[in-house]
Amino acid sequence: MKPLKLGMVGGGQGAFIGAVHRIAARLDGQWQLVAGALSSDPQRAEASAQELGLDRNYADFRQMAQAEAARDDGIDAVAIVTPNHVHADPAIAFLEAGIHVICDKPLAATAEDAARIKAAAEALPTHFILTHNYTGYPMIRQAREMVQAGELGKLRLVQVEYAQDWLTEPTAPDNKQADWRTDPARSGAGAIGDIGTHAFNLAHFVTGEVPSHLAADLSSMVPGRLVDDNAHILLRYASGARGMLWASQVAVGNENGLRLRIYGDRGGLEWSQEHPNHLYVSGFGRPTQIVTRGSSAMTSLDAQRASRVPSGHPEGYLECFATLYNEAADLIRGKHDAGRLSPGLRDGLLGVSFVSGALSSAKGNGKWVRVKLY
Amino acid sequence: MKPLKLGMVGGGQGAFIGAVHRIAARLDGQWQLVAGALSSDPQRAEASAQELGLDRNYADFRQMAQAEAARDDGIDAVAIVTPNHVHADPAIAFLEAGIHVICDKPLAATAEDAARIKAAAEALPTHFILTHNYTGYPMIRQAREMVQAGELGKLRLVQVEYAQDWLTEPTAPDNKQADWRTDPARSGAGAIGDIGTHAFNLAHFVTGEVPSHLAADLSSMVPGRLVDDNAHILLRYASGARGMLWASQVAVGNENGLRLRIYGDRGGLEWSQEHPNHLYVSGFGRPTQIVTRGSSAMTSLDAQRASRVPSGHPEGYLECFATLYNEAADLIRGKHDAGRLSPGLRDGLLGVSFVSGALSSAKGNGKWVRVKLY
Amino acid sequence: MKPLKLGMVGGGQGAFIGAVHRIAARLDGQWQLVAGALSSDPQRAEASAQELGLDRNYADFRQMAQAEAARDDGIDAVAIVTPNHVHADPAIAFLEAGIHVICDKPLAATAEDAARIKAAAEALPTHFILTHNYTGYPMIRQAREMVQAGELGKLRLVQVEYAQDWLTEPTAPDNKQADWRTDPARSGAGAIGDIGTHAFNLAHFVTGEVPSHLAADLSSMVPGRLVDDNAHILLRYASGARGMLWASQVAVGNENGLRLRIYGDRGGLEWSQEHPNHLYVSGFGRPTQIVTRGSSAMTSLDAQRASRVPSGHPEGYLECFATLYNEAADLIRGKHDAGRLSPGLRDGLLGVSFVSGALSSAKGNGKWVRVKLY
Amino acid sequence: MKPLKLGMVGGGQGAFIGAVHRIAARLDGQWQLVAGALSSDPQRAEASAQELGLDRNYADFRQMAQAEAARDDGIDAVAIVTPNHVHADPAIAFLEAGIHVICDKPLAATAEDAARIKAAAEALPTHFILTHNYTGYPMIRQAREMVQAGELGKLRLVQVEYAQDWLTEPTAPDNKQADWRTDPARSGAGAIGDIGTHAFNLAHFVTGEVPSHLAADLSSMVPGRLVDDNAHILLRYASGARGMLWASQVAVGNENGLRLRIYGDRGGLEWSQEHPNHLYVSGFGRPTQIVTRGSSAMTSLDAQRASRVPSGHPEGYLECFATLYNEAADLIRGKHDAGRLSPGLRDGLLGVSFVSGALSSAKGNGKWVRVKLY
């Protein structure tokens, strides 16, 4: 099968997540990067395109959307890997140009931007995919299937955390990654937006439930920081379940500590992103089992489809990201049942609800606020 | 040196914690159990005393306090290992009889009982020790010394949890351990009292700080249960630090998962009760180190004194408990600097504050409430 | 029940294992230390006895054996905790005096000494127990029962290792522990005797099989060292099973790394002494299970009897050692079925066979030699 | 930069390692698969080529070598992913056609085939790369640099093992992977060839040393199996170091347990393939450090070059494999310093020496045999 054609907005030299998207798109051979508006700085855009061997280098994403839409061999989809406050404009431009959008998370820096994307995406037939990449891990899919099939019984507890330490100290002005993430105008929020949304989304993906209410205590531990770098959040579900969500970028010793624990009235499970090939599953009164990726105990077809090599050969972050690109390709190609698991607009809107709710609760001294559902 | 003489109130046949106290008292040879009022049921008291080879069996703790105080070879201290609502009366009786008290935690089932113990203990020269046993772990002492010496920098975050699963299902009426723990009249509270107080105390022991405020979401997950079996609690410290405390008795797959993580602006540490001989210590930007009990990296003298065998030979729960008994003996014997680390009245009162605060916050829908300090 | 009376030979100030025996004897309340010949140095013996509060201090073990045998309240058993070359004489003296012997491992420094103990022990009704303490761990008993009940199928592989690092460098002359252990005249051998025998015994205890042949490559990695500090040994069993045994005292980063892995044609298991409360059990094609001490999956009655506190409260080295003392007490008291699991003379003789075989194979450049069975 | 053009021999439908090579080649964008002789069965070759979208499908590798050599846009290199006994003929054909060869390990099924490849590769300017892929792990490169820089001191011990369980039972006749691997004519040997060579190579890569002698005990645990499925091997190095190598395909509960432990007279390290992003490093008398991929403690430039994403985002098996393809591309492109770490002919010959030596030792009842060096 011929690879689909991919364009990219953002992701020029010095960026982090753009390179990840490129590897993810390439890994399973379903995508070929052919065009880009890789930077808002024309020189950097040009240099970045040359480095990547891209012939079709655009100085501007609007121009790119129009030009690519007009070509016979135009791109099938665009990857938007810009800072949060530059998601809405390119997303809308490509959606309107009839080009599918694969957008980095979170959906947007503001509720207004989110609403604009929503309006465009709902009005148009083009697909919108949001790269909540951790949903691509096979053992997360295994967990999802087990939880939603009731293997843990009635859901009681969701303990999710995403702990990092890279923002422990004030960041240098030339730290491109930290720069926009700690600027409220460009990021919308701090740890809750950057990683809290991942934790929130992962819990939702696995349990199928969204908390109806939350109460948040947000902190900026680093003096002078303008956004939260630590978030302590309590969750309540309409079903009676309860949860805790911790997101931190100042927890020294944690690199990318996304951990999920789910408990029902008959069982529990644990998973950690840094050791993603293992899922710990406990039935009440029975020994904990270590279910491994690729083994016969990985019974979920969704997990099997997201798995490439036999058990014991670790798959990691790039593979889980690549799975989202594969499923986007399947969706665009119109395969039967495709895109069922792809995070998209609704996940993005829930993420914005989560961030808005957390900011609102924090302003109200941690009062319980309703999470707007979609 | 001759062992001290110990009496025991509670701990008869079918009890759990009494047997633990007996092993702990015996382990290092500083105590000899010689008397007991082991059960409120005279037959069980008698049978229990015989099984233990105790000549001095009392049917009643008040009679025991008076009789032992009158003997030349009377007990030096009494261990009170009754359910929570039967702490105050025996504690006061022995304190008033001039006999030192080693009391199981939490201090009391009600604030009224706590106040009565406080009044007696403060008015009398006899010692009152509360067995928050986890403070006896060497690596907890190492952590305490490192945190309080500023090795992690300014305290930012306290993440503490105590997860169990033994109350996942409704308990059988003949489950003696579960019976009183799930009866509000006898326990005062559920998970927050039974294990939440341990978590709270441990964080306090290590950091030296007490949160000024807390906000609690308490649940009774098991239908019909009258006390909380899951507690989600946010903490705020006057210093600006923040914390999360989770206590659960319905988290399937967790046996006795007491875990502490502390983060400052320069370092972090992690410790887990189920693997107590290892302390994970991280300096920002440096690799995490595994500091082991008994190794030369265990620099704390308090840790060294609480350690019996060389590194690599695991010490556990009974040893940490025994350390409290040793230090109680040193205190009673008037050794220089003794009892400095022994948890006592103030810890017990703080625990009661914690429970009262959590219950009060939960009644107020998770509002922030002040933690009464002592 | 009244405690039994214990004497001790060796274990004076500066010794390591004597203190461990004393704690182990005390822990469960079945023993009381009342007499000792704690050092061959009379001053140290006296000072050690005073420190321990022992009235009956003997300058000489022969005198002690006679005097204790003559007393109405004489000791029931003696613990021999001297260096290896001083096991035989006291063991024989006490056995002949009608006093039961609890002897530290290995049995002896030489085959001659072992034969002398054998002759005495077999001729006399007194019990001889050898403290291969690791057999006391509950999860080792669980493993034993599972393996011997055929739950792993036909035995195929035994991978056992005991890695330490404390002899990585030449030892200082005043290092009492290292001193005799690195002197061939007093120890008989190096790592193979001191820890290799533990590994060998543990594999035997769990599998019930003894290798018929071994091939050994022994090294003295530290320049000038007169005994082996690293042993690489291959094992062959008459049943067709094969094994590897590694014992090292120069493996930097290993504290007391005794690890056992057993594989049959249907299952496998893993256990590590540094985390002794967990046993990893795998059936072919099924997920690995974590069987924990004290949980309902610990089905072995032998394990249950060796377990004191509920699951999740770690028990360790001192507890496993104490279990041997309990079972010695039961044996001496003539309890039904007592001593069934107690390591004794035959284990000691097999250990000596193992050491002799390894030395003989090493002299023959690693040729296969037969292990003398008993 | 334009991708290089890759051809493939073997790797048609039903094969395992061919798909891995394709992902690895694609992952970093340096290679494009354009031609193949994917199966010796013409129908399967054709179907496989169609499935992969390959226009240039050859029925025969000799025809492919000639045709591709003749094209202006012919392949730059060929990946040979056939069973072991079909390595030599295609390798020689492509080397002679002036096309670089990337060959799966081990080098060959027989010493004769190995000698033929050697003769061709040494006589010709074309490159020969052998995919001992585990050398591509960043933490293995970090380990290599630390060991070879003397950070562990003088090398003493090499403990390496590769344990699997997938051949625990007799294999079904239609198990394509097991079929040729258990046929001596096609594989040359069993576990020693398939995974033992990986373990041997990894130890060599990290230490820079090759054992001068080995002694092997090989077993076929499964009744009727014609090749070894378990290998117990002792190693001696000319430097005085000693080692143990265990390779097994019948160790139930092990999926792909390649583990390396190296000890010197000043330090030690441990690494496990199933958790490849962590390296445990111990200096004598200091706490073990957890050095993580992507962190600032990963000081090796070779490791940094082999690393794609920040620490805490796990990289795995496919990434380490891809690194070999990147370095092959750099070598072919003539980049400065390229190919320095690429495993090649000499590694393959050493692997064949290892297998021959092990078979020879086993035939001689485990006698020490010299390992032929290159």
Residue C142 and residue C125 in one domain: no
Contacts across the A-B interface (CB distance below 8 Å) = 129
- For residue A179, give both structure tokens: 């720069």
Q: Would you state the pLDDT for residue B183?
A: 86
Q: Rounded to whole angstroms, how far apart are CA atoms D18 and A273? A: 28
Residue in B178, B113, B6 with CA at minimum distance from that of residue B355 = B113
pLDDT score of B1 more than 80? no
Q: Rounded to whole angstroms, how far apart are CA atoms B280 and D279? A: 15
Choose among B287, B292, B297: nearest Cβ to D291: B287
Residue D212 and residue D85 in one domain: no
Which of the four pLDDT bands, split at 50, 70 and 90, describes residue A175?
confident
Residue B81 and residue B99 in one domain: yes
Residue D348 one-letter amino acid: G
**A176, B8, B38, B58 from B50: Cα distances, Å:** 74, 14, 11, 12
Q: Rounded to whole angstroms, how far apart are CA atoms D154 and D282? A: 14
pLDDT score of A173 more than 90? no
Which of the four pLDDT bands, split at 50, 70 and 90, describes residue D14?
confident
**Torsion angle in degrees (nearest 10) through CA of C171, C175, C180, C184:** 10
Q: Does residue A337 lie within any of the structural domains?
A: no
Q: Would you state the pLDDT for residue D28?
A: 96
ipTM of the complex: 0.96
Question: Helix-strand-coil percent breakdown of chain A, rounded to 5?
Answer: 35, 20, 40
Q: Would you state the pLDDT for residue B374?
A: 82
| Per-residue model confidence as pLDDT tens digits over A95-124 | 999 999 999 999 999 999 999 999 999 999
Using the beta-carbon criterion (under 8 Å), do B251 and A267 form an inter-chain contact? Answer: no
CA-based nearest distance A281→chain C, Å? 10
CATH number at residue B106: 3.40.50.720
Contacts across the A-D interface (CB distance below 8 Å) = 104
Q: Would you state the pLDDT for residue B179?
A: 82
Q: Which of C130, C159, C178 is the last residue of a domain?
A: C130
Q: Does residue B318 lie within any of the structural domains?
A: no
Residue in C258, C284, C281, C283 with CA at minimum distance from that of residue C270 = C281
CB C108 within 8 A of CB C188: yes
> Which residues contact residue A137 at a Cβ distance below 8 angstroms, ignoring those fewer than 6 apart?
A271, A273, A276, A306, A320
Residue C264 and residue C193 in one domain: yes
Choose among D1, D295, D316: nearest Cβ to A313: D316
Those residues of chain B whose CB sits closer than 8 Å to some CB in chain C are: 1-2, 16, 19-20, 22-23, 26-29, 53, 164, 166, 254-257, 273-277, 292, 294-295, 308-319
Is pTM beyond 0.90? Reply is: yes
Report how far apart the first and last C-alpha atoms of chain C are (Å, whole number): 36
Helix axes C138-148 and C197-207, enclosed angle (nearest 10):
50
Mutation site, D161, D164, D168, D318, interface A, largest A CB count within 10 A: D318
Residue D143 and residue D122 in one domain: no
Residue C121 and residue C155 in one domain: no
CA of B311: which chain C residue's CA is closest?
Answer: C255
Q: Does residue C247 lie within any of the structural domains?
A: yes
Question: Helix-strand-coil percent breakdown of chain D, rounded to 5?
Answer: 35, 25, 40
CB B276 within 8 A of CB B136: no
pLDDT below 70 — which residues of chain C?
A: none
What number is the average pLDDT over the span D300-324? 98
Q: Does residue A80 lie within any of the structural domains?
A: yes
Q: How many CB atoms lie within 10 A of CB D156?
A: 28
| Per-residue model confidence as pLDDT tens digits over C177-212 | 788 888 888 888 899 999 999 999 999 999 999 999
CA-based nearest distance C255→chain D, Å? 10
CA-based nearest distance D252→chain C, Å? 5
Question: Three-state SS for B356?
Answer: helix
Q: Does residue D227 lie within any of the structural domains?
A: yes
C297 contacts in chain A (CB < 8 Å): 286-287
What is the average pLDDT score of chain D?
96
- For residue A70, give both structure tokens: 């007009």
Q: Rounded to whole angstroms, how far apart are CA atoms C46 and C57? A: 7
Residue A154 one-letter amino acid: K
Q: Rounded to whole angstroms, how far apart are CA atoms D206 and B83? A: 60
Instruction: Classify strands B278-283 and B288-292 as parallel, antiparallel or unpaired.
Output: antiparallel
CB A258 within 8 A of CB A161: yes
pLDDT score of B353 more than 90? yes
Using the beta-carbon criterion (under 8 Å), do B248 and A368 form an inter-chain contact? Answer: no
Q: Would you state the pLDDT for residue A294?
A: 98
Using the beta-carbon criterion (under 8 Å), do B318 and C308 form an inter-chain contact? Answer: yes
- For residue B67, give both structure tokens: 């009789």
| Per-residue model confidence as pLDDT tens digits over D175-204 | 877 888 888 888 888 999 999 999 999 999
CATH number at residue D275: 3.30.360.10
What number is the average pLDDT over the span A191-207? 97
Residue in D219, D145, B315, A310 with CA at minimum distance from that of residue C27 = B315
Mutation site, A252, A280, A367, interface B, largest B CB count within 10 A: A252
Q: Does residue D316 lie within any of the structural domains?
A: no
Choose among B285, B290, B296: nearest Cβ to D288: B290
Quick one: which H or E segment has residue C32?
Answer: strand C31-37
> Which residues contact residue A181 at a Cβ distance below 8 angstroms, ignoring those fewer than 6 apart?
A83, A167, A187, A190, A194, A227
What number is the average pLDDT over the span D228-243? 98
What is the span of the domain harbouring residue C246?
137-310+344-363
Mutation site, B280, B282, B288, interface D, largest D CB count within 10 A: B288
Residue in A204, A274, A271 with CA at minimum distance from that of residue A241 = A204
Q: Which of C130, C164, C196 is the last residue of a domain?
A: C130
Helix axes B197-207 and B138-148, enclosed angle (nearest 10):
50
Percent of chain D with pLDDT over 90: 93
> Which residues contact residue C206 at a Cβ distance below 8 angstroms, ignoring those fewer than 6 apart?
C140, C143, C144, C147, C260, C262
DSSP string computed for B228-255? -SEEEEEEE-TTS-EEEEEEES--TT-S
pLDDT score of B344 more than 80? yes
CA-based nearest distance D316→chain B, Å? 20
The CA radius of gyration of chain B, in Å to the nearest whole number, is 20
CA-based nearest distance C297→chain A, Å? 6
**A237, B48, D70, D71, D102 from D66: Cα distances, Å:** 67, 92, 6, 9, 17
Residue in D245, D240, D242, D214 with CA at minimum distance from that of residue D230 = D245
Quick one: which H or E segment has residue A63?
Answer: helix A61-70
Which residues, in sequence order, are bridge partners of residue C5? Answer: C32
Residue D174 and residue D92 in one domain: no
| Per-residue model confidence as pLDDT tens digits over A301-312 | 999 999 999 999
Residue C161 and residue C118 in one domain: no
Residue A119 and residue A184 in one domain: no
> Which residues contact residue A89 at a Cβ distance below 8 angstroms, ignoring those fewer than 6 apart?
A61
Which of the four pLDDT bands, split at 50, 70 and 90, describes residue B10?
very high
Peptide bond preceding C106: is omega within 30 degrees of 0, i.e. cis? yes
CB B307 within 8 A of CB B315: yes
- Look at chain D and report how many structural domains it folds into: 2
CB A202 within 8 A of CB A354: no
Residue in B33, B134, B16, B26 with CA at minimum distance from that of residue B81 = B16
Q: Would you state the pLDDT for residue C16?
A: 87
pLDDT score of A1 more than 80? no
Q: Does residue C326 lie within any of the structural domains?
A: no
Using the beta-carbon criterion (under 8 Å), do A252 and B264 form an inter-chain contact? Answer: yes
Residue C68 and residue C162 in one domain: no
Q: Would you state the pLDDT for residue D231?
A: 98
Using the beta-carbon criterion (under 8 Å), do A266 and B252 form an inter-chain contact? Answer: yes
Choose among D254, D276, D311: nearest Cβ to A255: D311
A368 contacts in chain B (CB < 8 Å): 365-366
Percent of chain A with pLDDT over 90: 93
User: Where would I find the beta strands (DSSP E) of chain B?
Assistant: 4-9, 31-37, 56-57, 77-80, 100-103, 128-130, 155-163, 213-219, 230-236, 242-248, 257-264, 267-272, 278-283, 288-292, 369-370
Choose among A256, A309, A311: nearest Cβ to D313: A256
B266 contacts in chain A (CB < 8 Å): 252
| Touching partners of D (3+ C-beta pairs < 8 Å) | A, B, C
Residue in D253, D250, D261, D218 with CA at minimum distance from that of residue D354 = D218
Label residues D214-231 b or e (16+ Cβ within 10 Å = b).
bbbbbbbbbeebebbbbb
Which of the four pLDDT bands, split at 50, 70 and 90, describes residue A178?
confident
Using the beta-carbon criterion (under 8 Å), do D297 and B289 form an inter-chain contact? Answer: no
Torsion C205-C209-C212-C217 (CA) sign = negative
| Total length of chain C | 374
Residue C153 and residue C227 in one domain: yes
Q: Would you state the pLDDT for residue D250?
A: 98
- CA D103 to chain centroid: 9
What is the average pLDDT score of chain B?
96
Q: Rounded to whole angstroms, how far apart are CA atoms C327 and C305? A: 10
Using the beta-carbon criterion (under 8 Å), do D288 and B286 form an inter-chain contact? Answer: no
Q: How many CB atoms lie within 10 A of CB B90?
A: 23
Those residues of chain A whose CB sits closer than 8 Å to some CB in chain C are: 281, 285-292, 295-297
What is the average pLDDT score of chain C?
96
Residue A114 and residue A160 in one domain: no
Q: Which of A91, A115, A130 is the last residue of a domain?
A: A130
| Per-residue model confidence as pLDDT tens digits over C292-301 | 999 999 999 9
Choose among B287, B289, B296: nearest Cβ to D295: B287
- For residue D184, give both structure tokens: 């001596």
| Total length of chain D | 374
Which of the four pLDDT bands, split at 50, 70 and 90, describes residue B4?
very high
What number is the average pLDDT over the span B85-107? 97
Choose among D29, D275, D314: nearest Cβ to A317: D314
Which residues, in sequence order, are bridge partners of residue B158? Answer: B243, B262
What number is the average pLDDT over the span A356-368? 97
Which of the four pLDDT bands, split at 50, 70 and 90, describes residue B133?
very high
Q: Would you state the pLDDT for residue D187?
A: 82
Q: Rounded to whole angstroms, how far apart are CA atoms C296 and C293? A: 9
What number is the average pLDDT over the span D252-268? 98
Q: Rounded to whole angstroms, how far apart are CA atoms C328 and B189? A: 44
- For residue D297, give both structure tokens: 């403690």
Q: Rounded to whole angstroms, how far apart are CA atoms A161 and A262? A: 12
Q: Would you state the pLDDT for residue D374?
A: 82
Q: Rounded to whole angstroms, how far apart are CA atoms A276 and A298? A: 13
CA-based nearest distance A1→chain B, Å? 45
| Per-residue model confidence as pLDDT tens digits over C311-341 | 999 999 999 999 999 999 999 999 998 999 9
Which residues, in sequence order, are bridge partners of residue B262? Answer: B158, B269
CB C36 within 8 A of CB C43: no
Q: Does residue D321 lie within any of the structural domains?
A: no
What number is the average pLDDT over the span D307-318? 98
| Per-residue model confidence as pLDDT tens digits over B271-319 | 999 999 999 999 999 999 999 999 999 999 999 999 999 999 999 999 9
Which residues, in sequence order, are bridge partners of residue A163? Answer: A248, A257
> Which residues contact residue A70 at a Cβ distance below 8 angstroms, ignoring those fewer than 6 apart?
none
Mutation site, C279, C290, C298, interface A, largest A CB count within 10 A: C290
Choose among C169, C242, C268: nearest Cβ to D217: C242
